[in-house]
Amino acid sequence: MKFEPRPYQADLILKVAKAYQDGARSVVMLCPTGSGKTHIASHIIERSVAKENKVVFAAHLDNLMDDTSSRLTAAGISHGIVQGDRPSNPERPVQVCSLATLHRRGYAPPADFVIIDECHHAASDSVRGVIERYPKAKLMGLTATCQRADGKPLGDVFDVLVQGPTPADLLKLGHLVPCEVIAPMPTKPGTIAMDPVEAWRTFGHPGARAIFFCSTLEEVDAIVRQMPVATAPFTGNETGSVRRDVVAAFRAGEVSALVGCTAFAEGFNAPPIDLIISARAMSTTTAWLQACGRGLRPSPETGKTKCRVIDLVGAVFLHGLPYDERIWSIDGPPVRTGAALTAIMRCKECLAVFHVATVCPRCGASTRGLERKKRLARVEQAEFRRIDTMPPEMRDAIALRGIEKRLRQSGRFSEEKIRHVAAFLLKKARNKRA
């Protein structure tokens, strides 16, 4: 079965091909959770194999490998698997590999083209060690969020960023569902706003398929014990077969909730999820968006119409709403732009968070007298703070060049639009400093 890409996927494939034609050796392909990155990668692999290239697809999670393998099989692409003691077929043109196995063995299957899934991990020493074994191969990274928690830039590994549709684009096309964020106020900094199980009771709905993000395994155990519906832990410590069984039961509705720390933060595909309860710190935009992204896929089987995120730690006020427009960069953290920079409010009646409006879009309550949180996030100010000691003219010129570079890397704006948006962002930063 040959893979037929959607129009936006076909456009992204052409953009990636052009980046290589223009001289890039390594390209990051960035598109949101639910956009079909594995579909796109399968098509690119198919084209590469047709040119008699050898391909390595490397991922750090079992489910990412299994998903890719099944898609390649469906497309009739012969491939082997390199992971642990699974049977290998090294003579086949495509190898689907575990990054951990490659790192541990010091092994490098022959390849003309290497694909790294969830490539925001690529600046780590272990993944870079694998990449460095392919000095002559073309490299492509796949991610929905190209920001690392430790701040290491992906520009040290990749040459070019090619950005696909935004989450808002996919929402308009019907490939994602709307998302509402509810954020109770923590009583003390560094604490959660309320007990996660109580949050499930208060803000959940009958038949919800929920996932909980916790900080510790002890918290996972406590929630599993207290939940009044079928609930299973999903910590990453389970065997592969147990994880597959748990996910199958969750998708079938036999289990109503899963509880873990980070095991389903990436590469976890369960469309029925319509309730996310975040009870752990989200220190980066990547962590926040990856968590929210677990619930944005449509689920025709369950009739899901939206996803609800219960933010018990206030991450939304630091990183913004899931559908905010962002300019991503391989040289630094993402920057929100456009309407995403307008103030946000929290409804005093239902605690929903939204951009400025006269009434709450969730419950219809008046917003008169609500506090407006109007600021750029800390990460969006980092570049300006770094150069604060320079003369104002030099500082602004450097900042403007940096903003224009990020906008240009996104490939989504004309030169005229780049100048306009960059000037607007610079003005916002100057006003903040003042």
Q: What is the DSSP letter of 185?
A: P
The answer to the question of residue 416 being in a domain is yes
The answer to the question of residue 259 being in a domain is yes
Range of lowest pLDDT (217-226, 259-268, 406-415): 406-415
318 shares its domain with 411: no
Tokens, residue 283:
């220190």
Which of 107, 140, 165 delimits the end of a domain?
Answer: 165
- The pLDDT value recorded for residue 424 is 78
320 shares its domain with 175: yes
Give every CB contact of residue 113 below 8 A, 6+ residues apart in sequence. Answer: 45, 48, 53, 54, 55, 56, 137, 138, 139, 140
74 shares its domain with 160: yes
Higher pLDDT, 275 or 38: 275
Residues 10/3, Cβ–Cβ less than 8 Å: no
Provide the pLDDT confidence category of residue 269 given band limits of 50, 70 and 90.
confident
What span, in angstroms and rounded, lies between the C-alpha atoms of 207 and 197?
15
82 shares its domain with 15: yes
pLDDT tens for 67-94 read 788 878 887 888 999 988 777 888 999 9
The answer to the question of residue 370 being in a domain is no
Provide the pLDDT confidence category of residue 218 given band limits of 50, 70 and 90.
very high
111 shares its domain with 194: no
The answer to the question of residue 356 being in a domain is no
pLDDT tens for 141-156 read 999 888 776 667 788 8
For residue 33, give the nearest of 244, 307, 233 by alpha carbon: 307
15 shares its domain with 160: yes
What span, in angstroms and rounded, lies between the C-alpha atoms of 43 and 49?
10
Give every CB contact of residue 431 below 8 A, 6+ residues apart in sequence. Answer: none
231 shares its domain with 313: yes
3-class SS of residue 290: helix
3-class SS of residue 38: helix
201 shares its domain with 150: no
What's the whole-number mean pLDDT along residues 389-408?
A: 64
What span, in angstroms and rounded, lies between the C-alpha atoms of 28 and 347?
38
Burial label, 100 (beta-carbon count in 10 A; 0-12, 13-18, 19+): middle
11 shares its domain with 151: yes
Q: What is the CATH number of the domain that holds 131?
A: 3.40.50.300
In the chain, pLDDT over 90 holds for what percent of residues? 48
pLDDT tens for 152-211 read 778 888 899 999 999 999 999 999 999 999 999 887 777 899 999 999 999 998 899 999
In this structure, which amino acid lies at residue 148? Answer: R
29 shares its domain with 73: yes
The answer to the question of residue 249 being in a domain is yes
The total domain count for the chain is 3
229 shares its domain with 274: yes
Provide the pLDDT confidence category of residue 327 given band limits of 50, 70 and 90.
confident
pTM of the model: 0.81
The answer to the question of residue 83 being in a domain is yes
The answer to the question of residue 352 being in a domain is no
Q: Distance between terminal CA atoms of the chain?
A: 60
The answer to the question of residue 329 being in a domain is no
Angle at 313 between CA 63 and CA 290, to 5 degrees: 25
Q: What is the DSSP letter of 264?
A: T
Q: Which domain holds residue 274?
A: 170-324
Q: What is the DSSP letter of 141?
A: E
What span, in angstroms and rounded, lies between the C-alpha atoms of 238 and 243?
6
Residues 125/102, Cβ–Cβ less than 8 Å: no
Which of 141, 165, 189 delimits the end of a domain?
Answer: 165
Strand 179-182 relative to strand 352-355: parallel, antiparallel, unpaired?
antiparallel
Which of 289, 324, 359 delimits the end of a domain?
Answer: 324
3-class SS of residue 211: strand
56 shares its domain with 155: yes
What span, in angstroms and rounded, lies between the C-alpha atoms of 312 and 319?
14
